[in-house]
DNA sequence: TTGAAAGCGGTACCAG
DNA sequence: CTGGTACCGCTTTCAA
């Protein structure tokens, strides 16, 4: 039902149409030099024969693959999914195809993935975050294609970057909590050395907390990313045992905040009266919990879209304005009842 | 920082190593016929030169691209994300690279995507669902590569299929609700003609409801997919206005069920006392709401994994047992308080 | 406007 | 075990 039979080649179409391969090639690509009637004729014949262009062969000759390689830690994360989606859509507009690789939050896996992806000769490469192995950096340096780091503001940028400061995002939330009267403040995050963006948020968060003279050690490491509601619920219990007087907690992601909130509520702890909860990521769920969860909107889709536009400009025809790294819209704090106590 | 300079080719490595391209080719692929010392030598030189194999060139000669094309409606759906992840992981094991295309729940977009993807000469193609345009079917028939339809049991299978009966899943939930004493039963789904799997669930649901002699017209069309909590909340209000005496509702996805439940609760309607709620998809959130939401676990990851294994067997060395379509584990009903009323 | 020949960067095949 | 040669399917180039 699906076994290899010889697929027609361009030469076969040419023969059937009584022209040369070159004419078929031109007709298929819409080259103006082919007579309109002839072109229509060729297209019809190609269609009838079920001819499908072999892009691999064209690429070899033109040296343009139309691939953009992309590595993300995980696709099972609404934020990354949004970014990938935005990126894919924009690139599709200009005929570029995304090659996706998952790194599972491991820089070693990332290096391996990049090595694999580069063999496909992508015209640009998009990575998540600004932390990479030396090996990966070497690969990227040698590849001589545009590199875009996303979701971060790298200390040592490789090429372009489209992202924001996760530390600032954490700090912003800390100030919000403090402004609303919280003083014994905690953070639930991933284990150290795994999710670098989450760590940056935690770092910025506690830096800000410290600036107000408050305790900065209430950190719960809830496991390896990606963290979900399950881990959030577990971490909430740990938090209560370890620092029972905590009156506010930020979670590395909304999924975690949701799980933590549920755990508190089932233990009879009032949110936000006894403990305020904040998340990150503006997941859909956060707007519909009771109370709704204060969070930070990272504009994930826009990160993808901006990255796509940047790449389109880099690979497209020479533009007047040279493309530059783009920081996009800064993350937005979304205040909701889980920290403000205001009724819905 | 990233401009085109001539990348080294295999011939360059060969020259530097003082051997022929053929020897380099063999060394790089681990062909046993190359002396071990020579191979080490060549690998080192290739490494130093920053040589990266051009797979496009190999593919042309070997006629094996290592691509598997995959179309999914959307990646912003935990179920599809899980499937893609499972599929990607398995295929990566055997050196296959996924080429992903998004169809936005449109069969026309799907046809277009398939057309684009086939030009990359994938060795297999995975599509979501069993409903396709005639054009898409023609493309697939001509491609002469294995085709796997997932997430469904197609009426007219194109090739292999890995999925389950969405109608059965809907029917199962209907029986569950009826068994728990519900009689005025509704369904919140997508607009007709968009999400075929969701429609199948709805159809099976109402068929079962009808078999018990109950009303089968309480259908709320909540918009185009993907539906979220927002649409669920809105639909819940519509449901109350349209069929105020409804005592149970199944939603096409857990996200929708969550939004609907929140809406009911904010309106002071007790779940499940006044109205029972069920979802589909076993999203993480469903286990942590109050009450937790009864749902159906489709084993999305496993669908991806089984599809990957099927393809690996199809494309791998001749196996003794011929590969067949695999239905995987049947969806599992997860009973929770939102329909049973049992305390957590 | 069209076609013939060469070549993109690898690997199959066969000779040595 | 190693190398020469042809060729994968398309497009560039140049001539007609």
What pLDDT is attached to residue B342?
A: 81
Closest-CA residue in chain B for A232? B288
Residue nearest to nucleotide D6 (CA to C1'): B61
Report yes or no: B121 and B59 within 8 Å, Cβ to Cβ: yes
Q: Are A28 and A43 in contact (CB under 8 A)?
A: yes
pLDDT at A1 exceeding the cut of 70: no
Task: Check if residue A23 sits with its Cβ under 7 angstroms from strand C.
Answer: yes
Q: Which residue of A has its CA nearest to B72?
A: A85
Shortest CA to C1' contact from B11: nucleotide: C9
Structure tokens at B37: 């010392």
C6: residue with closest CA to C1': A61
Angle between helices B134-143 and B107-118 in degrees, nearest 10? 20
d(CA B105, CA B107): 7
Q: Tell me if B20 sits within 8 A of B48, measured CB to CB.
A: no
| DSSP conformation class of B105 | T
pLDDT of residue A2: 37
Alpha-carbon gap, residue A92 to B33, rounded angstroms = 44
Residue with tokens 């398939």: B114
Residue with tokens 């609700």: B177
Alpha helices per DSSP H over B285-327: 300-315
Determine whether the distance from the CB of A66 to the nearest atom of strand D is below 7 Å. Answer: no
What's the average model confidence in pLDDT over A304-314? 96
Cβ of A99 and B102 within 8 Å?
no
In this structure, are strands B97-102 and A160-162 parallel, antiparallel, or unpaired?
unpaired
Measure CA to C1' and name the residue nearest D3: B20
Work out the mean pLDDT of chain A and round it to a whole number.
Answer: 95
Residues contacting residue B49 through CB under 8 Å, at least 6 positions apart: B8, B12, B13, B16
- The pLDDT confidence band at residue A329, using thresholds 50, 70 and 90, is confident
Quote the pLDDT of residue B324. Answer: 75
Nearest CB partner across the interface for A262, out of B5, B258, B288: B288
3-class secondary structure, B250: strand
Cβ atoms of B51 and B94 within 8 Å: the answer is: no
Q: What are phi and psi of B296, to 5 degrees?
A: -120, 125
Q: How far apart are CA A334 and CA A295, in angstroms?
A: 5
- Cross-chain residue pair A7–B81, CB shorter than 8 Å: no
Beta carbons of B106 and B162 less than 8 angstroms apart: no
Chain B residues whose CB is inside 8 A of the A4 CB are 144
Q: Pick A290's closest partner by Cβ from B65, B81, B262.
A: B262
Q: Which nucleotides of D are covered by protein (CB under 7 A)?
A: 1-5, 7-13
Q: Tell me the pairing of strands A332-334 and A295-297.
A: antiparallel
B80 φ, ψ (degrees, to nearest 5): -65, -35
Which candidate from B56, B89, B228 shows the least CB-CB separation from A65? B56
For B256, nearest residue in chain A (alpha carbons): A285
CA distance B201 to B217: 14
Q: Identify whether the C-beta of residue A67 lies closer than 8 Å to the C-beta of residue A96.
A: yes
- Predicted confidence at residue B317, as pLDDT, reads 77
Nucleotide nearest to B35 (CA to C1'): D1
Instruction: For residue B147, give the nearest of B323, B332, B283 by alpha carbon.
Output: B323
Chain A residues lying within 8 Å of B114, measured CB to CB: none
- Contact flag A284-B229 (C-beta cutoff 8 Å): yes
Provide the 10 A C-beta neighbour count for residue A343.
Answer: 6
Contact in structure between A23 and A42 (CB atoms under 8 Å): yes
DSSP state string for A26-41: HHHHT-TTS-HHHHHH
Q: Which helix (H) or strand (E) holds A278?
A: strand A276-278
List Cβ neighbours of A219 (8 Å cut-off, separation of 6 or more). A186, A187, A189, A202, A206
**A161-197 residue pLDDT tens:** 999 999 999 999 999 999 999 999 999 999 999 999 9
| 10-residue mean pLDDT series, chain B (344 residues) | 68 96 96 92 96 97 97 97 98 97 97 98 98 96 94 95 97 98 98 97 98 98 97 98 98 98 97 98 97 98 97 83 75 97 70
A58-99 residue pLDDT tens: 999 999 999 999 999 999 999 999 999 999 999 999 999 999
Closest Cβ opposite residue B121 in set A54, A76, A143: A54
Gyration radius from chain B CA atoms: 26
Assign A227 a pLDDT band (cuts: 50, 70, 90).
very high
Which nucleotide C1' is nearest B9 CA? Answer: C9
Q: CA B229, CA B265: separation in Å to the nearest integer?
A: 14
Closest approach of B159 to chain A, Cα-based (Å)? 7
The pLDDT of residue A4 is 44
B175 is near strand C: CB distance < 7 Å: no
Q: Looking at residue B4, what is its pLDDT?
A: 44
On whether the CB atoms of residues A14 and A8 are closer than 8 A, the answer is no
Q: Which residue of B has its CA nearest to A85?
A: B75
What pLDDT is stored for residue B1 in this prediction?
A: 37
Residue B167 structure tokens: 């109608």
Pull the structure tokens for residue A229: 């509601």
CA of residue A30 relative to chain centroid, distance = 35
Phi, psi of B291 (to 5 degrees): -70, 160
Residue in chain A lying closest to B47 (CA): A139
Query: Can you give the distance from the CA of residue A110 to the C1' of nucleotide D4 in angstroms?
Result: 40
The whole-angstrom separation of Cα A179 and Cα A20 is: 75
Q: What is the pLDDT of residue A3?
A: 43
Closest by CA to A281, choosing from A291, A264, A293, is: A293
* A181 burial level (CB within 10 Å; 0-12, 13-18, 19+): exposed
A16 CA → C4 C1’, Å: 19
Lookup: tokens for B73:
């409606």
The tokens for A276 are 């305020």
- List the one residue out of B52, B72, B62, B70 whose CA is nearest residue B6: B52
- Classified as helix, coil or strand, A230 is helix
Residue A111 confidence (pLDDT) above 90: yes
Query: Which of B29, B75, B264 should one mutate to test binding to chain A, selecting the residue with the greatest count of A CBs within 10 A?
Result: B75
Enumerate residues 6+ apart whose C-beta is below 8 A from B62. none
* Residue A158 DSSP code: S
Tokens representing B288 are: 């942590």
In the prediction, which pLDDT does B340 show? 96
């Amino acid at each position: 039902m699906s076994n290899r039979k010889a697929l027609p080649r361009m030469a076969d179409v040419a023969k059937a149409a009584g022209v040369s391969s070159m004419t078929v090639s031109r007709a298929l690509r819409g080259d103006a030099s082919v007579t309109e009637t002839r072109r229509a004729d060729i297209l019809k014949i190609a269609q009838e024969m079920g001819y499908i262009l072999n892009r691999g062969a064209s690429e070899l000759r033109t040296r343009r693959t139309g691939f953009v390689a992309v590595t993300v830690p995980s696709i099972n994360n609404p934020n990354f999914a949004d970014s990938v989606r935005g990126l894919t859509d924009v690139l599709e507009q200009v005929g570029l195809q995304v090659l996706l690789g998952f790194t599972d939050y491991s820089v070693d896996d990332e290096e391996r993935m990049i090595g694999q992806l580069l063999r496909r000769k992508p015209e640009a490469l998009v990575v998540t975050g600004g932390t990479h192995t030396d090996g990966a950096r070497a690969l990227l340096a040698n590849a001589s294609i545009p590199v875009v780091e996303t979701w971060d503001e790298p200390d040592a940028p490789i090429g372009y970057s489209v992202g924001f400061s996760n530390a600032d995002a954490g700090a912003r939330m800390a100030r919000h909590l403090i402004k609303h009267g919280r003083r014994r403040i905690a953070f639930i995050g991933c284990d150290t050395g795994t999710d670098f963006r989450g760590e940056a948020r935690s770092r910025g968060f506690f830096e800000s907390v410290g600036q107000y003279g408050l305790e900065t050690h209430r950190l719960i490491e809830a496991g390896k990313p990606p963290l979900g509601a399950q881990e959030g619920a577990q971490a909430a219990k740990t938090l209560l045992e370890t620092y029972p007087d905590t009156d506010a907690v930020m979670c590395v992601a909304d999924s975690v905040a949701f799980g933590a909130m549920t755990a508190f509520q089932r233990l009879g702890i009032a949110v936000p009266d006894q403990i305020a909860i904040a998340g990150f990521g503006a997941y859909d769920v956060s707007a519909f919990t009771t109370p709704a969860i204060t969070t930070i909107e990272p504009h994930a889709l826009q990160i993808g879209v901006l990255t796509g536009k940047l790449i389109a400009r880099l690979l497209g025809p020479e533009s007047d304005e040279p493309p530059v790294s783009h920081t996009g819209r800064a993350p937005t704090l979304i205040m909701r009842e889980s920290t403000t106590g205001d009724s819905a």
